[in-house]
Structure 1
């Protein structure tokens, strides 16, 4: 056992993980799961109080977590954050970006052009910046994993505005990064869920209809949970998944098929 009470045979024992958007539901779930598997997690986001809540949960469970207020769309802030963690930890093993894209979901004939292009631009910019910053250190150590979240695929539904197009752009970026970084031993993987009911606000308009639709399309009569996301993310970035790159790991319970 380690001094912090976590087992020294965890999937991510000794690894350093960066998590952007770590104060949110998905980012927080993944941060907790990584820490539970022995990783030292560095949680970044724009709201310090939310980051500290996640970090406090991790520390109370015996894990290691540090926080940093970082705008993941700002090149200087991202580079400074990653370089600071690398200087202290001597390595960067995992980079996971799950920040929101500020999307407005409306039919294409109704949406304003700026509202349409915003999520596409933000998704491409933040994933380019955070991956490049981590890869600069991963290349030197000839290992590392970049994990993306959301996925794309042929299916879509009406009224998503630029959101689905932003996910498509992320997949194109994933393919390019995976190709260029693979020769350095760096893996790039996307995880897709098909929707997580726990992340839909209780006061959201049409929540019940959304929940019913997500569950209806799933083959397993259930949907992915935040616990599922944390567990699968931990496996993907671990050495047990060392042969997986330039791929999408689908945990939609069958809601998304023929990917």
Structure 2
């Protein structure tokens, strides 16, 4: 039986590696998809993949930091589909000017950028989705963080505090929304080679460390229990389970997908 049969899901940041992988897996599990992103092209490409594989997906260009734009978009989704069952926040921001800079050399604006952008995106998508879900007394709100939320990592600027803030927001949202029938959950993966984030983390360190791309991946993999890094497909399959009714007992938590490199 399909995990997400007849579920209506919105994925913000659907044009990125994580958002695209989650979209394809959600569709394979039977979800009706509405895909949003800052640029139409990448989102449209994911939607075309989903439709070509026999799924249902509609792409849209939405500025997730614009409250009015997100509200109008979700209104249009519920008008078309009749309801909203899952809201997935896979929004990312460019980190090229942040990563690799010591905190003592980082100006306040660049430090605050990821904290402000990531938390605003998650807050707006969650709050505006919740308003639609509360009417039906059910729904799942989801986001993605990183192990930076729980452990100190050098040269990542405000990225760690941003991830910690998102996980705190997951707990706060659940505390308020769970009594109304909604679940709020997060996923915390580590260094998936197919994503842009791990490349951006490697590039500023490459010259200083002398490590090749392959050596960099190996160094990260040795910290995990199976001595390998997680794939996008693995994350997406966990996301589909969390979004499904089979995960009804999970809320107010962020699932640790660091494969043992971060102890709970």
Shorter-chain TM-score: which interval?
over 0.9
Task: Name the structure 1 match of 2:229.
Answer: 223
1:189 matched to 2:185: yes
Q: Distance in 1 between matches of 2:45 and 2:136?
A: 32
Q: CA RMSD in A?
A: 1.6
**Structure 1 Cα separation of the partners of residues 151 and 227 of structure 2:** 20
Provide TM-score, normalisation by structure 1.
0.92
Superposition TM-score, scaled by structure 2 size: 0.91
The yes-or-no answer on 1:32 pairing with 2:24 is yes
Instruction: Give the Cα–Cα distance (whole angstroms) in 2 for the partners of residues 12 and 142 of structure 1.
Output: 17
Q: Which residue of 2 aligns with 1:234?
A: 240
1:177 equivalent in alignment to 2:173: yes
Matched, 1:249 2:243: no
Q: Is the 8 A contact 2:85 2:138 kept in 1?
A: yes
Kept in 1: contact 2:145–2:167 (CA 8 A): no
CA distance in 2, matches of 1:178, 1:238: 16
Please state whether the residue corresponding to 2:140 is helix, strand or coil.
strand
For 2:104, the equivalent position in structure 1 comes to 109
Whether the 8 Å contact between 2:5 and 2:29 is mirrored in structure 1 is yes
Aligned partner of 2:140 in structure 1 is 145
Matches of residues 69-108 of structure 1 in structure 2 within 5 Å? 69-103=61-95, 104-105=98-99, 106-108=101-103
Shift of residue 203, structure 1, vs aligned partner: 11
2:161 maps to which of 141, 165, 173: 165
CA deviations on 1:234-257 (whole Å, 9 max, x unpaired) are 000100000100111112211221
1:102: how far off?
A: 3.5
**Structure with higher helix content:** 2
**Are the counterparts in 2 of residues 151 and 248 from structure 1 also a CA contact under 8 Å?**
no
1:10–1:121 distance in 2 versus 1, CA, 3 Å: same
Distance 1:85 1:145 in 2: 16
Task: Give the 3 Å change call, closer, same or farther, for CA 69–110 of structure 1 in structure 2.
Answer: same
What whole-Å deviation, never above 9, does each CA across 1:108-150 have from its counterpart, x for those lacking one? 1111111000110111111111001100111011111111101
Question: Contact conserved, 1:194 with 1:256, CA < 8 A, in 2?
Answer: no
Name the residue aligned to 1:132: 127
Q: In structure 1, what is the Cα distance between the partners aligned to 2:165 and 2:256? A: 18
Are residues 140 and 22 of structure 1, via their aligned partners in 2, closer, same or farther at CA, if it must alter by over 3 Å?
A: same
